[in-house]
Amino acid sequence: MERKIKVRLQTDLTKYAPSLVPGVEGYTIGKYGLWSRGSDRFIGVCFPGITTLDVLWDSIEIIDKEYLEELELLKKKQREALKSAKNVIKYVGPKGGFRYISYEYINSEGINGHVSNSSKTEGERLLKIFEEYGIKVEIKTQR
């Protein structure tokens, strides 16, 4: 059973149920319908007394204080673990555009890992962290 996370609807979904207006609260129930089983962009949400349906993560706000505190603690641990990063390589295309970043590190559980990430936004965030920690970043060009 997946953990229930308290959420607040940010989008008007009255076409699915008249009471699904922005601000209504519910909780996640994990994979529920076709959409949440087929895409991680959706999550099953129960809106008590109204309905249960798959909702885009972008359409809800997490308001579960306990969950948010745990998430913040996890982010701090992960950021701290990045101090152990080595062999950091930023791969760029022939014109200098971001392709992906790869690095090795010891995660917060003490396990060695190798990570490759092709998200430009996440890559830029990681590069800032590596710069803060004084970790050398090698740049390689891909064709």
How high does pLDDT run on average in the chain? 93
pLDDT of residue 107: 84
pLDDT of residue 109: 83
Tokens standing for 21?
Answer: 């207006």
**All domains of the chain in start order, with CATH:** 6-65 (2.30.30), 78-141 (no CATH)
Listed residue (40, 142, 25, 135) closest to 83, CA to CA: 135
Residue 3 has pLDDT above 90, yes or no: no
In DSSP notation, the chain reads -PPP-EEEE-S--TTT-TT--TT-EEEEEES-SHHHHH-TTEEEEEETTTEEEEEEGGGEEE--HHHHHHHHHHHHHHHHHGGG-EEEEEEE-TTS-EEEEEEEEE-TTS-EEEEEE--HHHHHHHHHHHHHTT--EEEEE--
Residue 1 has pLDDT above 80, yes or no: no
pLDDT of residue 110: 85
pLDDT of residue 136: 95
Which residues have C-beta within 8 Å of that of residue 119, sequence separation ≥ 6? none
Return the exposure string of 46-73: e unless at least 16 CB atoms fall within 10 Å of the residue's CB, then b: bbeebebbbbbbebbeeebeebeeeeee
29-50 confidence digits (pLDDT tens):
999 999 999 999 999 999 999 9
116-135 confidence digits (pLDDT tens):
999 999 999 999 999 999 99
pLDDT of residue 52: 96
Residue 141 has pLDDT above 90, yes or no: yes
Residue whose token pair is 């129930």: 29
38-96 confidence digits (pLDDT tens):
999 999 999 999 999 999 999 999 999 999 999 999 999 988 999 999 999 999 999 99
User: Amino acid identity, residue 87?
Assistant: N
